[in-house]
Amino acid sequence: MANKSSTSTKFDAPLSHTTNKATHNRDQFFVWREFVWGAIAGAFGEGMMHPIDTIKTRIQSQVLLSGSQSQKSIVQMVRTVWVADGLRGFYRGIAPGITGSLATGATYFGFIESTKKWIEESHPNLGGHWAHFIAGAVGDTLGSFVYVPCEVMKQRMQVQGSSNSWNSAIMKDKMQMKSGAEMYGYYTGMFQAGHSIWKEQGLKGLYAGYWSTLARDVPFAGLMVMFYEALKDLTEKGRQKWAPNFHVDGSMEGLILGGLAGGFSAYLTTPLDVIKTRLQVQGSSTSYNGWLDAMNKIWKTEGAKGMFRGSIPRITWYIPASALTFMAVEFLREQFNKKLDEGNMQEVTSLSIEKPKSSFKEVA
């Protein structure tokens, strides 16, 4: 009897330790749930703010499409879209937009949280805002392989509007191409757009402006998470100093701080966004031969005003879009992470109790 008891004790401790260690190693650095929360939040933010993005895209691409320096204001562009296509015109390209945001949101938040966990547990001396910047930049880069083709399709569909307005606009404004078909044909939907671009321009067409997209999104993604984490740290220090008993709701904090972080980052990277948009919209009528050529021509012909064209709708889009995205992520974390952690703990406890019993019976 004594032997049975001692044997059971002998197996119990190591097995419990091994089970916990295996579970810890499995989830040590890869925070899978953050990829899910990020995808949902990214799609949510894009879907809510897509009409503003449509206005921004059209404003930035006016010079390329019309060849005129006389540009429409935000209000005029809103009126133009509404008169030509109604509400539907504001939501052109939403399918590829949401698809791209699913991929980017997943890799962005998933990689950020996984990297933060890796730094905290393995390299605590590497912490700080630069670590957040790098994590955000790398996470966004990973999503770019899906995001960029979706962005190309989305922006071309945004500037087209309905088939009637696209064709009539080309005839009315005497755009710089011989016909709309020579620039690129009208896209009826996301899959038709992808197939058409692939057929006409191949992989190069789908990834038009890829490097300019990275040049915009890598600093933007890095700056946004860096600003967000810095604002969170500042808020936490202020709360501890002035209101230590005050509870801050994570969703509300994400809404406010995410909006501020997105607005700051959006304004600083507007010139990069203008270059990216022009390269992706131009199609086969190559007005710009690459990123540097686009930057030089825009600066020479339009100056600083041209480089920051569309900054107001860009900021107007990113403040609420970032706010909604971070709010959604914080909400999902608060609602589900605790439940998932409790479920994992119950699983570990169940395994550590059941396994020694099997060992005890075998020894018996």
Q: Is 88 exposed, middle or buried (0-12, 13-18, 19+ CB in 10 A)?
A: exposed
The answer to whether 171 and 261 are in contact (CB under 8 A) is no
Instruction: Report the pLDDT value the prediction gives residue 78, as an integer from 0 to 100.
Output: 92
Average pLDDT over residues 82-104: 92
What mean pLDDT is reported for the chain? 78
In 3D space, the residue among 193, 217, 181 whose CA is nearest the CA of residue 95 turns out to be 193
Average pLDDT over residues 340-344: 64
Distance CA 159, CA 63 (A): 12
Instruction: Please enumerate in sequence order all residues whose Cβ is within 8 A of that of 271, keeping only pairs 6 or more positions apart, or say none.
Output: 295, 307, 308
Instruction: Report the pLDDT value the prediction gives residue 153, as an integer from 0 to 100.
Output: 94
For helices 129-160 and 32-60, what crossing angle results, to 10°? 50
- pLDDT band at residue 3 using 50, 70 and 90 as cut-offs: very low
Instruction: Report the pLDDT value the prediction gives residue 244, as an integer from 0 to 100.
Output: 80
Could you report the per-residue pLDDT of 181-226, keeping only the tens digit for each?
346 788 989 999 999 999 988 998 899 878 888 888 889 988 998 9
Q: Does 171 score more than 80 pLDDT?
A: no
**pLDDT above 90 coverage of the chain, percent:** 24
- pLDDT band at residue 350 using 50, 70 and 90 as cut-offs: low
24-38, 243-257, 260-274, 318-332: least confident range: 24-38
pTM of the model: 0.68
Q: Does 302 score more than 60 pLDDT?
A: yes
Instruction: Report the pLDDT value the prediction gives residue 98, as an integer from 0 to 100.
Output: 95
302: its two tokens: 């339009």
For residues 278 and 82, the model is more confident at 82
Average pLDDT over residues 323-348: 77
Average pLDDT over residues 4-23: 39
Answer left, alpha or beta for residue 161, where phi above 0 means left and psi between -120 and 50 means alpha: left
Q: Does 164 score more than 60 pLDDT?
A: yes
Instruction: Report the pLDDT value the prediction gives residue 68, as an integer from 0 to 100.
Output: 57
Instruction: Report the pLDDT value the prediction gives residue 213, as an integer from 0 to 100.
Output: 82
Average pLDDT over residues 22-33: 57
Instruction: Report the pLDDT value the prediction gives residue 346, as an integer from 0 to 100.
Output: 60
Instruction: Report the pLDDT value the prediction gives residue 135, as an integer from 0 to 100.
Output: 82
Instruction: Report the pLDDT value the prediction gives residue 22, as an integer from 0 to 100.
Output: 40
Q: Tell me the domain boundaries of the chain.
A: 28-168+189-343
For residues 11 and 330, the model is more confident at 330
Average pLDDT over residues 232-257: 86
Domain boundaries 28-168+189-343, corresponding CATH code: 1.50.40.10
Could you report the per-residue pLDDT of 47-64, keeping only the tens digit for each?
988 998 999 888 888 776
With H, G, I as helix, E, B as strand and everything else as coil, classify residue 232.
Answer: helix
